[in-house]
Amino acid sequence: MRKVRDALFALLKEAVRSAIVKGELPDIGDLPTFTIEPPPQEEFGDFATNLAMVLSRPMRKSPMEVANTLLRHLPAADWLRRAEVAPPGFLNFHLTDHWLYEAVRDAIERDERYGHWDIGQGKRVLVEFVSANPTGPLQIGNARGGALGDAIANLLAAVGYQVEREYYINDVTMSAQVQKFGESLEARYLQLFGYDVPFPEDGYKGEYVMELAKEIVNEHGDAFVPLPPQKRRQKFFALAKEKIIAQHKAVLERFGIRYDHFVSEQWLYDSGRVKKTLELLKAKGLTYESEGALWMRTTAFGDQKDEVLVRRTGAPTYFASDIAYHLYKHERGYAFVVNVWGADHHGHVPRMHAALKALGIEREGEEKWLKIVLYQLVRLVKDSQPLRMSKRAGEIVSLDDLLDFIGKDAARFFLLSRSPDTPLDINLDLAIKQSQENPVYYVQYAHARCCRLFSHAKKQKHQAFSGYQKADLSLLQQPEERRLMKLVAAFPDIVLKAATHLLPHFLTQFALQLADTFHDFYERHRVLSDDVSLSFARLALVKATQIVLRNALTLLGICAPEAM
């Protein structure tokens, strides 16, 4: 599609130049940005441009007048069947089908590389995602962050970046969550020895806390009973953290995610990085003291209010350690980094960009080095009723539970089916259906059908099995065939769009559209027939479709089964 767009852009540029030379349009200098995209309805052609509407205001003419003028000056091209004007000022282009045949051949030739780009040119980038507190099992929100982060990493790799995945362990012992978790674990441990101790208000009530306490009793007995409470809680958290992180790694690997790096927040303190960061900020004159606390002048760099770095108690804030962490990321030489955060972190976004501007890592008017993807909540629905979830209240549906119930592929597909800024419902009853009502089944079944056609061709020793690569694709004249070819042609642009916008749902929605179009083609047309030439062409189209479906599913981290 990129070649076609470039060719149309050249024609439109020449039409504008010609109209200006003839005095039919005024010269406004450089052309403003405009789009050339497939129109929403196929009767409007293969591509449409909004150029006339974009030029209307600076040229002081109506969009329709500009569009008709451009149409009169549009150069002829052997690949352009016709162009026409449509209200309120679109120019629609109907092309010959050679670009579609080229796309089918390109898909077959490039195979696993079809849809890949090299815009990254091997530059190193980092994607940090999930990064949960080690205070309990990974939940559904973590699952959405995991699916998003891993798919974004896949997409960035597909467009030419060298991608590394990182997990930030929020394990600093002074944090409120860690303190509360330690108190919860301590209470359960002492209760197992018969001590009448109250459970902390707003503590972690999940059954997993009792299971961890039992494991500590089995491994260490009553050795921690005599210790002072604070030291006992620190011991408990250290023991539990190791077990919980191991559980996190295991379930994430089960979910198809493997990390290159694990970075501990506590390590940032122990290594002196947080202290050095605070000293650096002070040396640059970016801090001041007020009300017994140390503040950073983030408002000078676009934040709405200055932020606390060190509380009056002397304890650094999460903001302080996060600056240290991002300095550590920057030291490692990444071209840019991506953070995938829950929507509850939205207030942290402007302060982080302000800190990076203050340190000279980001500059006003330039592309941001830190790219942040925020995702909204996930709700599980079963029997038309939402399931309630709370780690503190003990009502947990963990990622492990979700994978047990619907499996990795369904979980990832549903979690990637909507834009991350949209709240998401997962219908568990739908997700386990082995029918075309289930969207992931529908897409995987389309891929399996493609593979089955090749299996049948091989068993039947049909000539098309060995001759499809040399097919005469001009025999593909049916509307369903043309729709399928257009989607095959669109795939590389969809990958690029999803990667550059860090939005994998573009790919999920495309896969559904492609599967739907293929099933329609499959139901209406016989692929293997006595018409050998037509069978060649149709099997080539099936092969291109299978390649695109497989590549799309692979980028989403979902299996592409050859049989179902």
Average pLDDT of the segment spanning 365-371: 94
- Helix, strand or coil for residue 175? coil
From 33-42, 252-261, 277-286, 492-501, the region with the lowest mean pLDDT: 33-42
Question: Hey, CA dihedral for 280, 130, 554, 99, is it positive or negative?
Answer: negative
pLDDT the model gives residue 370: 98
Note the pLDDT of residue 392. Answer: 46
Kindly tell me if the per-residue pLDDT of 307 is higher than 60. Answer: yes
Q: Tell me what the mean pLDDT of segment 506-527 comes to.
A: 97
What is the tens place of the pLDDT at every residue in 517-540? 999 999 999 999 989 999 999 999
**pLDDT at position 391:** 47
Tell whether the model's pLDDT for residue 508 goes beyond 60.
yes
Q: What is the mean pLDDT of the chain?
A: 94
Distances (CA, A) of 142 to 50, 477, 485: 41, 47, 37
pLDDT per position as a tens digit, 156-204? 999 999 999 999 999 987 778 888 888 999 999 999 999 999 999 888 8
Q: What pLDDT score does 54 carry? A: 96
| CA-atom Rg of the chain in angstroms | 29
Q: Which two tokens stand for residue 353?
A: 């960009």
Render pLDDT for 548-562 as a digit per residue (tens, 0 to 9): 999 999 999 999 999
CB atoms within 10 A of CB 202: 11
Structure tokens at 398: 């963990």
The 3-class SS string of 13-76 reads HHHHHHHHHCCCCCCCCCCCCCCEECCCCHHHCCEEECHHHHHHHHHCCCHHHHHHHHHHHCCC
Is 49's pLDDT higher than 90?
Answer: yes
CA torsion through residues 140, 141, 144, 146, sign: negative
Question: Which bin fits 406, alpha (ψ -120 to 50), beta or left (φ > 0)?
Answer: alpha
286 pLDDT above the threshold of 90: yes
3-class SS at 358?
A: helix
Q: What is the mean pLDDT of residues 247-274?
A: 97
* All domains in the chain, ordered by first residue: 2-96 (3.30.1360.70), 435-555 (1.10.730.10)
Cβ-proximal residues to 283 (8 Å cutoff; 6+ apart), any chain: none
| Contact criterion met (CB below 8 Å) for 380 and 140 | yes
Global pTM?
A: 0.93
pLDDT in tens, 79-116: 999 999 999 999 999 999 999 999 999 999 999 999 99
Q: 56: closest CA among 28, 17, 37?
A: 28
Is residue 397 pLDDT above 90, yes or no? no
